[in-house]
């Protein structure tokens, strides 16, 4: 594929984890299970928050949006992989690859923005508790969410347009289970200097800026907690941050692992494993992290599941009654 005109008609091959036929059912079952757990777990968080008036606060507003984004993030990659295994086909069209990259970048950036906003929410709640309801009002929360969507859409659109200007060689095999930006750039025959500059600039500006905001928020939070005289107050304040801090650590560590594995080791296997952690495992674990360590979420889930069970029983009795 030497020319850009031919590239639009190209088909890429997603090689996945293994070409061993005996391992395909195991991989299919594993990823199907993780996908169903991810969707059901995050959907339960959304339903619990929306159905419980006690959770109609900024922190849970951002958490429910994070759960929605995690469902979308996983759904951009895993269903296509499952389809390829089921049909024993590794092909994905050029348009399909670009679309997958666009939405993966979109939802990954939204994850970063939401985690940053949740850190800011914790900062205001602990460092300025008397002004929390005034600062974190519904209008500001909606505005922050809107700005996050605008930034994410523009970022992924820029990355996709930069990829469209490249033409690709005859070797169109991607040693991965998804179309990833780094893997696609490595297959091109064009000069990627401008693409690399754009990627590094966006990573430093958006990724680094968000991480700096999170670190600053937690620096101020820790300073504020240390000044508290009551040990019970310190414990209560810190316990509200543990879940978010766990998710942030998991997200950034796995995301950093993707770039280190692809940029340093050049091993397709290690890069694929790191991407699984980043795109599948992290969204799957988020609901467990927030529900297991959060009494409000556990109580809301119990109430929601109890209501669902009562409703199901009533409907069943109405159907069976003469």
Q: What is the pLDDT of residues 260-285, one digit of tens each?
A: 655 555 556 666 777 788 789 889 99
What token pair was written down for 253? 């560590």
How far apart, in whole angstroms, are the C-alpha atoms of residue 71 and residue 40?
9
pLDDT in tens, 214-263: 999 999 999 999 988 888 888 888 888 888 898 998 888 877 766 665 55
Residue 238's Cβ-count burial label (10 Å; 0-12, 13-18, 19+) is middle
Integer Cα distance of 146 and 141 in angstroms? 9
pLDDT of res. 250: 87
pLDDT of residue 219: 95
pTM of the shown model: 0.88
Residues in the chain: 322
Task: Decide if 277 contacts 178 (C-beta within 8 A).
Answer: no
Residue 4 has what pLDDT?
Answer: 45
Averaged over 107-115, what is the pLDDT? 95
pLDDT in tens, 83-95: 988 988 888 888 9
Model confidence at 172, pLDDT cuts 50, 70, 90, reads confident
pLDDT digit string (tens) for 139-149? 999 999 999 99
């Amino acid at each position: 594929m030497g020319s850009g005109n031919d590239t639009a008609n190209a088909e890429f091959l997603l090689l996945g984890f293994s070409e061993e036929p005996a391992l395909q059912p195991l991989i299919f079952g594993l990823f199907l299970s993780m996908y169903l757990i991810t969707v059901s777990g995050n959907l339960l968080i959304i339903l619990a928050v929306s159905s419980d008036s006690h959770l109609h606060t900024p922190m849970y507003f951002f958490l429910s949006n994070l759960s929605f984004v995690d469902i979308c993030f996983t759904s951009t990659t895993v269903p296509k992989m499952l389809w390829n295994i089921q049909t024993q086909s590794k092909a994905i069209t050029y348009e399909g690859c670009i679309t997958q990259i666009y939405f993966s970048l979109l939802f990954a950036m939204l994850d970063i923005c939401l985690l940053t906003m949740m850190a800011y929410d914790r900062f205001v709640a602990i460092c300025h508790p008397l002004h929390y309801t005034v600062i974190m009002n519904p209008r500001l929360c909606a505005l922050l969410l809107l700005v996050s969507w605008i930034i994410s859409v523009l970022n992924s659109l820029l990355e996709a347009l930069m990829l469209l200007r490249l033409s690709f060689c005859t070797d169109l095999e991607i040693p991965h289970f998804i179309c990833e930006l780094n893997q696609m750039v490595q297959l091109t025959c064009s000069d990627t200097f401008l693409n690399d500059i754009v990627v590094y600039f966006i990573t430093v500006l958006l990724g680094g800026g968000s991480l700096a905001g999170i670190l600053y928020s937690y620096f101020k939070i820790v300073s504020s907690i240390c000044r508290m005289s009551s040990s019970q107050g310190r414990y209560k304040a810190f316990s509200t941050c543990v879940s978010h801090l766990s998710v942030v650590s998991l997200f950034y560590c796995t995301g950093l692992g993707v770039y280190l594995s692809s940029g340093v080791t050049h091993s397709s296997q290690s890069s694929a494993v790191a991407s699984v952690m980043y795109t599948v495992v992290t969204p799957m674990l988020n609901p467990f992290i927030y529900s297991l360590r959060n009494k409000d979420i556990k109580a809301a889930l119990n109430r929601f599941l109890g209501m669902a069970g009562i409703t199901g029983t009533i409907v069943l009795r109405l159907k069976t009654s003469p």
